[in-house]
Structure 1
Amino acid sequence: MELLDSPLGIAAAGLLGLLVGSFLNVVIHRLPRMMERRWALECAEMTGQPVPDQPPLNLLHPRSRCPSCGTGIAWYQNMPVISYLLLRGRCAACGTRIGWRYPFVELLTGGLFAWVFAQHGMAWPTLAWFGFVGALIALAFIDWDTTLLPDDITLPLVWAGLIAAAWGWSGIALAEALWGAVGGYLSLWLVYWVFKLATGKEGMGYGDFKLFAALGAWFGWQALIPMILMASVIGAVIGITMKFSSGLREGGYIPFGPFLAFAGLAALIVGPGQLLTWVGL
């Protein structure tokens, strides 16, 4: 047990995080496509149209391939970070550049896993916070790419937060977690409807409500204001910067989910109270 709580244990947690980060890259890429297939299948069944015949696609099959040339990626070319460096950021078959985000997600997950283990050691809360970290990273990048926050991740994250509170893993009382989930959902739901009634436009999606409910379940209702303030400030700064640099996507909007996820990870590391200081309150 002492060995696991030593720097060696922290390094092992970081290595686990690198491996999980590699899997998260698969989730980020494939889950939206799996959702699109599911929606197309449901629409075909409801309208009586022929069900499209497509090859199986899930998080495990088919094995990873280069999106440019379609060549399968061997296991030794898929090692977190190391393979990216050895291949110099390019596909071994066609030479197409591999995005920097793949090793970034792996390093981010590995660093956060190591930090969580350093704080909690070999204990059940460590596994709970590992799941929290992985879910937020996946949600942040999926939302940035597609403006979708999948129920497949947000809803289990809400329930996991409540369960973690009930079992004493998150460090807050179950009542605080419950009201955090309620307050997180209803607060953004009200903002959504006020904005829609005033402008006739939708300022955010229902996935944002669920993600904020999940953060409330993990940190309690007291943490909602610091997290929403931090997410709003960072989102505004990045949005203004992208507007002046002509970096906004069509429609002139950016998703809010990544900033909520960042605020949740910041609350994990420094605590919700410190977030108020960071935004100047």
Structure 2
Amino acid sequence: MNITLIFTNAPYAVFIVVGLLGLIVGSFLNVVIYRLPIMMKREWRVQCIQLLTDEAGNNSNHFWNTRFLKKLGASKRQLRKIFRATSLKPSVPLHNNPFNLSRPRSHCPHCGHQITVLENIPIASFIWQRGKCTACHQAISIRYPLIEALSAILAIIIAWHFGFGWQLAFALVLTWALLAASIIDFNHQLLPDNITLPLLWLGLLCNSFGLYTSLEESLIGAIVGYLVLWSVYWLFKLATGKEGMGYGDFKLLAMLGAWLGWQAVPMILFISSLAGAVVGISLILLRGHDKNVPIPFGPYLASAGWISLLWGETLTAFF
């Protein structure tokens, strides 16, 4: 039986399959959203300790000089404390227990109860457990089922727009990557290279077959996407002495440019800037948000990119 023929003649079957897949992927995205920032911070900590240790070895008589302290942005007392703690056993790794996307097994953050297969069914387990851990009865964050549901809803919208085919398959990958990156940036103000860079190359690969745009427009889109925000960053920094955004934003827009082509970059910037300005001004006026506290720009870029993926040509023609 030809599965392509089934999905072509029965579009609702695509929606069902994609929706279920979205729930499963949403459950995995919860793991990525929680663990990837921790993995990154652990790696940075190891690198910082290694930097301190190497600097101490290379400058044993001048390790605590003023220039080095200013470079690290820490007080002499703090650095001495760190160096004593890390130089006692330099051969022992910082973390003996593995921590990645697969290990350790998912568990309750309150009591450590390992989550079973039946307790890990997207949305259904949350409802069955009434939003509480079966062991300690502490509340489970509503974030988990919401992300699973959002993953499924976005997947169904993508299926409705593209229909069954390669465009659907890769658009789903992009959608789920944007969802994970947005929430990580919202929570931690981080846009992981582990997400943006592989997806940038995947976008170029897809468009080498002309899936969403031509390879030439894809290459130009990646370059333009990066350079536009890079230029804005340096103009703002030269004018104010402050950093207006992070390098992750450059890479995210470059990634979107690689998927959608350079013509989509102005529309993405317009939508994301408008949405960011409206939300930022509203937070300042209505909730007293400190204007000096940065607001992550990644979620707005990702949302604008996703909108452009589906309706970019229509919006461009309208404007």
TM-score (norm 1): 0.92
> Contact (CA 8 Å) 2:185, 2:296: kept in 1 or not?
yes
Counterpart of 2:128?
Answer: 86
Counterpart of 2:195?
Answer: 153
Distance in 2, matches of 1:121 and 1:25, equals: 27
Distance in 2, matches of 1:89 and 1:163, equals: 42
**Amino acid paired to 1:118:** W
Are positions 1:134 and 2:137 aligned together?
A: no
Counterpart of 1:174?
Answer: 215
Are positions 1:25 and 2:66 aligned together?
A: no
Matches within 5 A, 1:39-188: 39-48=44-53, 49=86, 50=90, 51-170=93-212, 172-188=213-229
Distance in 1, matches of 2:99 and 2:246, equals: 26
CA shift digits 1:182-231 (9 cap, x unpaired):
11100000000000000000000000000001111111111111111111
> Contact (CA 8 Å) 1:3, 1:9: kept in 2 or not?
no
Counterpart of 2:18?
Answer: 13
> Contact (CA 8 Å) 2:284, 2:291: kept in 1 or not?
no
- Point out the more displaced range, 205-214 or 235-244: 235-244
Q: 1:206 to 1:276 in 2, by over 3 A?
A: farther
Distance in 2, matches of 1:20 and 1:106, equals: 7
| 2:263 partner SS | helix
Shift of 1:18: 0.7
Which structure would you say has the larger Rg?
Answer: 2
Distance in 2, matches of 1:228 and 1:144, equals: 18
Identity of aligned residues (%): 45
Distance in 2, matches of 1:250 and 1:84, equals: 37
- Point out the more displaced range, 253-262 or 93-102: 93-102
RMSD: 1.9
Counterpart of 2:276?
Answer: 235
- The counterpart of 1:200, out of the listed 241, 244, 251, is 241
In structure 2, runs of 5+ residues without a counterpart are: 54-85
In structure 1, runs of 5+ residues without a counterpart are: none
> Contact (CA 8 Å) 1:155, 1:214: kept in 2 or not?
yes
Q: 1:157 to 1:248 in 2, by over 3 A?
A: farther
Q: 1:240 to 1:206 in 2, by over 3 A?
A: same
Shift of 1:241: 2.2
Shift of 1:243: 2.2
Distance in 2, matches of 1:105 and 1:15, equals: 13
Shift of 1:132: 0.4
Q: 1:52 to 1:251 in 2, by over 3 A?
A: farther
